[in-house]
A and B are shown apart, each in its own frame.
Chain A
Amino acid sequence: MKNLLVAQNVSKSYGDYKAINNLSIEVPEQSIFGLLGPNGAGKTTFIRIINQITMPDTGKVLLDGQPLQPSDVQHIGYLPEERGLYKSMKVGEQVLYLAQLKGLSKKEATSRLKYWFDRLEIGDWWNKKIQELSKGMAQKIQFIVTVIHQPKLLIFDEPFSGFDPVNANLIKDQILQLKEDGATILFSTHRMESVEELCDYMALIHKSNKMLDGKVADIKKDFRSNTYQVGISPRQRNEMLENLNHHFEVTPAHYHSIHEDVKLHIKIPENSSANDLLHHLITLGQVNHFVEVVPSVNDIFIKTVGQHA
């Protein structure tokens, strides 16, 4: 698949502080790419480089195969983490102004704004001032400002921070819809569960360095531990535990269930399969629950950061 955005060996320092060290990523077209890392890892600096707000010390960034040009701002929509609007300016005027700065004509911006008002089920806010809107309403306007010029590349820095669950869901659906419509989305967050839900690809940044990157599914496969979560009602409890401990690595598991099962995490050897384990379990009792333990992004993150600490 073609890459829309490519960063090659990007570094940036502020004085003695290295904000980004030799970062390279590839963001495939029409995908959602999660940029993960704790606060202060260098995500925002990197995003600002893509937005040409800051210039990298070394390395380069390619958009659509071409080095970034000042005119490329028209193809990028950016929702920064620190976001806000002019409080005393009217909604319509404000969005038109920001859209015109992104290169839209006034007429085009007007019709697109009307379209987005419909799409987000926003009433007639045209002549309201931002200070008269609730926080959630203002955030919807903010979202429209980000997407109104139909950018190829959308960058969201912590998009869900400050959104209430209803609006967060709405925005999430919109992001997925935008991807369907052909946009590529770069998505920075320290909240791992949103990556889990949305992202096709991810890169993990810690202390200015990239720890790992790739397809989320591939990364998860790499981190799988051949462990299964099992709920079983045994014929003979002690006998069963003894038997299992003899063949596998067994630890207690905790989850909610309607059955009064024995709940276990069972790790199987490299060369055996899930079926082998299932065959074995059936001989010991009634299997009510059987699922592979897939590492969460959170687990992967903690494990990776732990290794490098």
Chain B
Amino acid sequence: MRNLKLIIKREYLARVRNKTFVVMTFLSPVIMVGMIMLIAYLTSLNNDEEKIIGVHDVTNMVFDELQDKKNTVYLNFSDLELTTAIDSVDKKEYYGLLYIPAGKTDEEIASHIEFFAQEAPSNFFLSDLEQKISNVLTDRKLESTGVNLATIDNAKAKVNIKMENFSGEATSKMASYVKMFFGGAAGYLLMMFIIIYGNMVMRSVIEEKTNRIIEIIISSVKPIQLMLGKILGTSFAGITQFVIWIIFGSILLFSVTAIFGIESTSIQGEAAANSVNPDEIQLLVNDVLQLPLASIIVAFLVYFIGGYFLYSSIYAAIGAAVDSETDTQQFMFPVILPLMLGIYVGFFSVVENPHGIVATIFSYIPLTSPIVMLMRIPFGVAWWEVLISLGILFASVFLVIWMAAKIYRVGILMYGKKPTYKELFKWLKY
């Protein structure tokens, strides 16, 4: 135990003092926050651009309905000839010209409306315009058939289905998105963590082999102690990095938004105001609070421990089997594959049917269960299912550590040739 502690301490310090590690730890949040700021800035820049649109409305009924907005101004060109109108819009470098021709019927008008522009206008803008014109024409048609518009407005029933679950708590329609988001984020985070820190373990094993210090160390400690010490030390370093990212990142994000006052909040506010009403937001918050947050966090930790140990011992065995990092390629693919599979199953099967047969099976298979089960848990999974999945996971963890330790024990003293899978299998029996 004393030796294990010493090894963990050394591995931890070796990781944490590594220059790349330090740089990554402090640079990543800066880059992340920088990206967010840049996107926010670019978006606002894009929105600030003023669109001036000429309207050549022969029918003289649409222009009045087009109201100027913050960044969109409509100018009436109806008095000019069409060609002159197009020319002047082009010369003045306006966004474009909307042409509404005369026609006997509204159908004829509707099918001949044109938009002239230097560049193709955005789909978003076009559909907005189509919607507005369509409204005008529809109203006109309704009026012409003698329908009172006020009656229709009164008759419109605003439907907004309020959802409640069976135990009577109100949920919003966003609930399943919230669950998806939390599950997906947890699963994705886990995968990233496994790949990044698994690779660190592997590199550290290869380093000891190429340094040729390995034989000195295993004349003092058991190889399995060294392997476990490496895995544990690296995971502590990873947790340190993670905590720094979260703390440093949020401080940075808060201070930067405070200093530059970027309208990220106003953008969000606008979006929120447009799509969801305040009641909905309240419900959204309720949804988040009603998630089994405690069990998600506990499950994340437990599955993280299981998944990380499972994969990093495989990574350690790979590191022991090869001489240099370039030789690892042939063994990497089978490791990455189940992780990717877990993510895909999670984002497609789980989202579609969290308790479907595919999602259920993959949440039992130990190589994918940490990711898939984490994605399922926000949707509510029976405790016995979680228990079975964890049982299988941790049984495999012990089996894999045992196998990895055998490969590790033989591999670290083998130099010179790249082993095949067949040889690795033989090492298990030494």
Which residue numbers of B lie inside 8 Å of A, CB to CB?
Answer: 3, 6-7, 10, 14, 207-208, 211-213, 215-222, 413, 415, 426, 430
Contact = CB atoms under 8 A, between A and B. Distances in A.
B122 to A, nearest CB: 54
Interface stretch (A23-31, A70-78, A182-190, A280-288): A70-78
17 contacts: A15-B426, A51-B219, A52-B219, A53-B215, A53-B218, A73-B221, A80-B219, A82-B415, A83-B212, A83-B215, A85-B211, A86-B14, A86-B211, A97-B6, A98-B220, A101-B221, A145-B216
A84 B412 CA distance: 14
A45 B207 CA distance: 23
B3 A80 contact: no
Nearest to B429: A15
Nearest to A155: B219
B35 to A, nearest CB: 32
B6 A84 contact: no
Give the bracket for the number of chain A residues in contact with chain B. 20 to 34
A14 B430 contact: yes
Contacts of B10: 97
Given A14-B430, A82-B415, A101-B6, A53 B219 contact: yes
A100 interface: yes
B343 to A, nearest CB: 35
A128 interface: no
Interface in A86-110: 86-89, 97-98, 100-102
Given A73-B220, A82-B415, A100-B6, A87 B215 contact: no
Contacts of B413: 48, 53
Contacts of B208: 86
Contacts of A53: 215, 218-219, 413
Which residue among B208, B217, B220 has the maximum number of chain A CB atoms within 10 Å of its CB? B220
Contact of A98 (B207, B211, B217, B415): B217
Given A53-B413, A97-B6, A100-B6, A84 B219 contact: no
Which residue among A73, A84, A97, A101 has the maximum number of chain B CB atoms within 10 Å of its CB? A101
A101 B214 CA distance: 13
Contacts of B219: 51-53, 73, 76, 78, 80
Contact of A78 (B3, B216, B430): B216
A227 B120 CA distance: 107
Given A15-B426, A89-B14, A102 B220 contact: yes
Given A14-B430, A15-B426, A82-B415, A98 B215 contact: no
Contacts of B218: 53
Interface in A106-155: 145
A89 B201 CA distance: 17
Given A14-B430, A53-B413, A101-B3, A84 B213 contact: yes
